[in-house]
């Protein structure tokens, strides 16, 4: 690379390449790094979902509190977001108004694996998922972006043929002779 000329250096001092105005600051890079989002589109999709929910909450708050349609829509929205695990309680619309991209990222399979102590770090969890060691219910999942609902959280396990499962069972002294024959 050639050495920059004086006027080029001067121009570079005025332009910040790390933070573009249209991207909205460092938040995207921070979330992408923290939750190991492989694709930038994931952040954009979660952000658009949050924006849509916040707009819906704003419209619902403008309606009459005793309106049966508002009550029905509020209950439906709270129920859906609570079952997804994105909000902690079904009590008020205020939780929906404060919805963030991080709340969706916490429901990704890699984050749930760390939460359930299947892996110590997020990067390790992503590796296990991509290598096919994890299943949710009867299906083997190889996509770390898979969203796990509260109900499905109990069905996250190791694949039966996984060597990691065998090591965990050996450590816990729960490995029996039948499992040794299949190994």
In the 3-class helix/strand/coil scheme, how is the chain assigned residue by residue?
CCCCCHHHHHHHHHCCCCCCHHHCCCHHHHHHHHCCCCCHHHHHHHHHHHHHHHHHHHHHHHCCCCCHHHHHHHHHHHHHHHHHCCCCCCCCCHHHHCCCHHHHHCCEHHHHHHHCCCCCCHHHHHHHHHCCCEEECCEECCCCCCECCCCHHHHEEECCCCHHHHHHHHHCCCCCHHHHHHC
> Does residue 45 have a pLDDT over 60?
yes
Look up the pTM and report it: 0.77
Q: Looking at the predicted structure, is the pLDDT value of residue 51 above 90?
A: yes
The answer to which of 12-26, 28-42, 78-92, 108-122 has the lowest mean pLDDT is 12-26
| pLDDT > 80? residue 141 | yes
| Start-end of CATH 3.10.290.10 domains in the chain | 109-182
Domain topology for 109-182: 3.10.290
């Amino acid at each position: 690379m050639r050495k920059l000329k004086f006027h080029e250096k001067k121009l570079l001092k005025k332009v910040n390449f790390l933070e573009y105005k249209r991207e909205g600051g460092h938040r995207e890079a921070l979330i992408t790094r923290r939750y190991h989002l492989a694709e930038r589109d994931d952040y954009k999709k979660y952000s658009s979902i949050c924006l849509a929910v916040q707009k819906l909450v704003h419209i619902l708050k403008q309606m009459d509190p005793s309106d049966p349609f508002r009550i029905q829509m509020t209950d439906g929205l709270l129920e859906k977001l609570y079952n997804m695990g994105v909000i902690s309680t079904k009590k008020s619309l205020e939780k929906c108004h404060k919805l963030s991209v991080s709340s969706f990222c916490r429901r990704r399979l890699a984050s749930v694996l760390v939460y359930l102590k299947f892996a110590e770090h997020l990067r390790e969890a992503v590796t296990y998922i991509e290598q096919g060691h994890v299943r949710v219910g009867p299906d083997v999942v190889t996509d770390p972006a898979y969203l796990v609902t509260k109900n499905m959280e109990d069905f996250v396990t190791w694949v039966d043929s996984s060597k990691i499962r065998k090591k965990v069972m050996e450590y816990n002294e729960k490995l029996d002779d039948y499992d040794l024959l299949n190994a």
